[in-house]
Structure 1
Amino acid sequence: MHDIDDSVVPGSVYLVNVQEKTAVVHAGNDSAIVLSPTPSNDINDPLNWSRGRKLLQIVCVMIYTSSIGIGTTVLYSVLQPISNDTGIPLATLNAGTGYILGWGALINQPFALTFGKRGIYLISVLGNTAICLLTPYIKTEGQWIASKIVQGYLCTPVESLCEVSIADVFFAHERGTYIGIYTLFLFGSNYFAPLIAGFIYDGQGWHWVMYWAAIINFGSLIVLFFFMEETNFVRNTSEATEAVHLSTKPDAEKDDKESTTSSPVSSGDLTGLPKTYSQRLALFGGRYASNKLLITMAYRPVILLRFPVIFWAGFQYGTCLVWYNVLNATCSLILSEPPYNFRASFVGLTYLGPLIGMFLGTFYSGWVGDRFAVRYARRTRGIREPEHRLWLMVVSLLLCPASLILWGVGASKGISWVGLVFGMGIISCSTGIGSSLSISYALDSYKDLSGEVMIAVILVRNTLSFAIGYGITPWLHMGYQNTFISAGFVGLAITMTFLIVIKWGKSWRIASRKRYWGYVADGTLGH
């Protein structure tokens, strides 16, 4: 990797060329947008792929996300029938996956970044297929917990690797859109699974709920084998080349003219031979890091939690997951009891509300967020700060407490089911906004260590999720009204912390710059 100047601010990049600097590469469809990271001249660089090839890659990532999401959550709407059939207590059925999901990334992610992501994805979906097929044959508590721990380990890429794959092929001004799409499919598949599971159970029994999940995963495996490509690439550059120096002055920027091209890298300027289709099908396409770095990547995510930006992103993301878990834990309880008395299939249909809410939330935080970031950068001399995007959380600041109170108080007072489904949709919308913006903020701040940053974020997120799994039952003993009024105020307080990050986030990034660029210099995976 080229020499790195550790005086630059991580995450602060020139996104809009408002001062007509010539030493930059621009987006082909907008001569003012600066491409960050700067693509290499290698024809195999994922940043140089055609638009269609990039979109095919993102489709594959979304297929993977959906299949893993369905395979790991489809059984939650049929836990009671499973308990009745096997004699395994509900408490045990709910346990298992959470013991290792997320923490397993400390092993999986370094291997993916060292040997290739494609092989890890394929092994993950193959393993999920096998677990779904074997689940109907489980008879004991030990077998159940063991299967869920294995499944949790195999499925960790869905939480931390997909975001890195997106960052591999898309530039800073477009990443938010695809992070939003990823968030939609991640949570959307979790909402869709119980929706279809209720109908499958009514018609074929709970065994076929798992068989259909296995069929979906196996179909995804076939598609991914033939169309998903490796996106690891040693670029030998970093975002330090686009980052903003602490000493940068507006007047100096105007005089910084260099006689280099200001046009995007065209196909005629690319060097090297493109990979053949058979080379693209390789399970592991090469080696991208040393053994020393492989070991380092296994523990450095824990060290990165010292960075306030990363810890906050994980905490905010984890809080969003807490509200998602609380909704799932109470939905069936509320709607299957008087005055609603919904059957399992009808309870599943109510998840259409969260699906719509998640779509609206991720569209707002993703597509709208990218355009907001570009417009904001035009007002700040072309400089994009990761904190700019966080202003969009104002909407979540309003929706989060309102939706939680509507859900809990509404259930306590027995309001119309329409009001409850509306509340579910708003909770989901707020969850999508907070999750997508948290991920984008972490990646925008420390892009060159995106793989390790996402592990650190997921560690915080899943630790919160794991804790709420134990705390939700005693919390609900307060009654739906008191529980969700308190949840609403907790959500309001936590969401408001984005104002603190907007104020102090850049100072935190400045304070971490020497340590961060030192970590980047140690690595061989340039982005």
Structure 2
Amino acid sequence: MSTRDLDIEIAQIRESNMGRVRTLGSVRLTKEGTNERILYPTPSNDPNDPLNWSQTYKIYLMCLTSSALILSNFVAAGPSIALVELTIDIFHAYPPSPLIPATLAPASIARFTDGLTKAAYLFSGAALVQGISNLLWVPVALKYGRRKVYVFAFLLFGATTIWAARAEPFANLLAARLVMGWFAGTAECVAPLTVADLFFLHERGTYMAIFAAALSAGAPLGSIVGGFFTLGTDWRAMYYLSTGLIFLFTLLAYLTMPETAYIRTPEVHKLEPVSRISKDFDKSPADLQVERLSPEPIAEASGRPGKKTFRENLAFVTPAQTKESFLKIFIRPILLLVLPPVIWSTVIIGLVVGIVVVLSVSLANDFHTIYQFETWQAGLCWISVIIGSAIGMPVCGILTDTTADFFTARAGGIREPEHRLPFCILPALMLTGGLLIYGFGLEHHTHWIVPVVGLAIIAVGIVGGTTGGMAYIVDAYRPIAGECVVSIMAFKSAFAFLIAFYTNSWLAKDGPAVVFGTLAGIVFGWFTLALPLYIWGKRLRQRSLEWRFVRHIQWDLDRETGE
């Protein structure tokens, strides 16, 4: 038995004798009197602990992880910019044009509309499978490690892009896209885990914003590149380019990305004299909740461990990261959807990603119909989303951490996950305003710059909404953050599929003002629920420990991180 396994076993015995105390995100972040920062999770003395790696190397791994996230949506959603060309190529249906009178016939218009709707399935279906795949990939990543998932899944992801590039009938292309979505989904679920592995609690918002920006930038980059490809070649060339980029990432991940999952020695709490607690016998479990003011890790049983060699970091056969059963990890995300904090974050991220999907499947056709933009010109409109994401990344990242620090200071140094929620005022206003500008700009045929500016504002809101929602839920349920991510990503994909399924027909029936105005109202309304969550969120998290079904989602001690 290794020293670390022995430490964990000792901790399990000690905590079983005293009753297990979970704070669910409530921690002291600064020392009383000195205001000195307390690091969470507490780094070990092991050089293989990701928290001990140099900041430069951590940032490199964050960039590598972000590139995986960009690539997944670059291929999954980016080619949708060529939806019209794809419809012409596969279904031989042509868009209405005064230059070709035959295309103005009702039968021709109906044929094109039907073909466009079917072609959209290639992207909405892939988005759905991306989320569902997390039900498998996250348990694998939690049980066996992040690195294995990245390398294995992206190797097959690259193979599916070759399949899609060569697929001829619609059914074959649809099958390729669905399988592609299954392997592309790994980046969406493993990236937040990697952020939590590499960075401390007080840094998490900043780096979660990089994740959010990468999540929102993939589809725009793909649309810009895809638009240019339509000038000199066809939409299939996009997949060949993606093949090279994906295999390049796979090689870099294999050679330069060690495993970031790390089994931490569990922290225990000092036993108090019986006289101190005898008066609390009549209290409920929730009333006995205490806040962990500072971690007390078990002393290392041996000296400083040796650093792994380059060859050891390449190993694929490694010990399991947790003793929890695969089935338990697989089922937990379903039960988590009953917890109010998880529900709120899930719907927030589902809405912002759903907006990206709506724009992806409708923008090219809208700008072609209203402004007579060619495909490559419509693709250039996505530059505004890149700019918005680039602005949103530092602004939202810094603000979510500074906002949380401000409210932590007001609370006497005790950090609550809810301290991130006031920041959500910014993405609520950005998303609502951007959607209204975009929708009404299209509806009233304003200058094309108006909806393009709306796109940039929407992008800032998307980065902010994703950052706030994801950082909040990871802070609140850090030991089971992976399962929370599964709940979020599975829901957002189902929602994105549903809304993308009806987007073009909804736009044709009610117009952009109604569609995007409705989305703006839904987004703003759901963001306002952050207020009651800020007031009662801590109580809900603590009371949830008493709920009967919560016993089925309790995590093992080896999942604890000190938060």
Q: TM-score, normalised by structure 1?
A: 0.88
Q: Which moved more, 1:423-432 or 1:197-206?
A: 197-206
Residue equivalent to 1:370: 401
Q: What percent identity do the matched residue pairs reach?
A: 24
- 2:120 counterpart of 1:94: yes
Aligned positions of 1:155-194 closer than 5 A: 155-194=184-223
- Corresponding residue of 1:317: 349
The answer on whether the counterparts of 1:16 and 1:32 sit within 8 Å (CA) in structure 2 is yes
In 1, Cα distance between equivalents of 2:456 and 2:421: 22
The structure 2 residue matched to 1:40, chosen from 29, 38, 44, is 44
Paired residues for 1:100-249 under 5 Å = 100-237=129-266
- In structure 1, give the amino acid aligned to 2:351: T
| Cα distance, 1:371 vs structure 2 | 2.3
Pair 1:316–1:360, CA change in 2 (3 A)? same
Deviations 1:283-318 (A, max 9, x none): 34332234x521211111101112111111101111
Q: C-alpha root-mean-square deviation of aligned residues, in Å?
A: 2.8
Distance 2:235 2:65 in 1: 28
| Aligned residue number for residue 83 of structure 1 | 87
Q: Distance in 2 between matches of 1:482 and 1:185?
A: 29
Unaligned runs of 5+ in 1: 21-30
Per-residue CA deviations over 1:185-217 (Å, capped at 9, x if unaligned) read 111121111011111221232221211111111
CA shift for structure 1 position 150 = 1.3
- Residue 388 of structure 1 is matched in structure 2 by 419
Shift of 1:249: 9.1
Instruction: Supply the distance in 1 between the matched residues of 2:397 and 2:551 (Cα, whole angstroms).
Output: 28
Do the aligned partners of 1:6 and 1:513 also contact (CA within 8 Å) in 2? Answer: no
Aligned counterparts of 1:240 and 1:432: Cα–Cα separation in 2: 38
Q: Please give the alpha-carbon distance, in whole angstroms, between the structure 2 residues aligned to 1:144 and 1:487.
A: 31
SS at match of 1:174: helix
Residue 556 of structure 2 aligns with which residue? 522
1:387, distance to aligned residue in structure 2 (A)? 1.0
SS of the aligned residue for 1:427 comes to helix
Aligned-partner Cα distance in 2 for 1:198–1:521: 47
Counterpart pick for 1:56 among 46, 51, 60: 60
CA–CA distance in structure 2, aligned partners of residues 257 and 156 of structure 1: 35
Please say if residues 81 and 378 of structure 2, whose CA atoms lie closer than 8 Å, have aligned partners that are also in contact: no
Counterpart CA distance in 2 for 1:231 and 1:249 is 30
- The CA deviation string for residues 404-430 of structure 1, in whole angstroms up to 9 with x for no partner, is 111111111111111111111111111
Gaps of 5+ in 2: 1-7, 93-114, 271-285
CA deviation map 1:139-177 (0-9, x unaligned)? 223322321221121122122111011101111000111
Match of 2:429 in 1: 398
Contact 1:106 1:455 in 2 (8 A): yes
Q: Which residue, 427, 439, 442 being the options, matches 1:408?
A: 439
Residue 417 of structure 1: which of 448, 457, 476 is its match?
A: 448
Aligned match of 1:26 = none
Whether 1:329 and 2:333 are equivalent positions in the alignment is no
- In the TM superposition, residue 238 of structure 1 has moved relative to its aligned partner by 6.0
Distance 1:522 1:105 in 2: 21
Distance of 2:87 and 2:295 partners within structure 1:
70
Q: Conserved in 1, the CA contact under 8 Å of 2:129 and 2:178?
A: yes
Aligned to 2:535: 503
Alpha-carbon spacing, 1:58–1:105, altered in 2? closer, same or farther (3 Å): same
Is the contact made by 1:293 and 1:523 (CA closer than 8 Å) also made in structure 2?
A: no
TM-score by length of 2: 0.83
Could you tell me how far apart the structure 1 residues matched to 2:391 and 2:295 are? 43
In the TM superposition, residue 130 of structure 1 has moved relative to its aligned partner by: 1.1
State how far apart, in whole Å, the 1-side matches of 2:85 and 2:319 are.
46
Aligned-pair distance for 1:514?
A: 5.4
Distance 1:448 1:336, change over 3 A: same
Map 1:63-74 onto structure 2 (within 5 A): 63-74=67-78
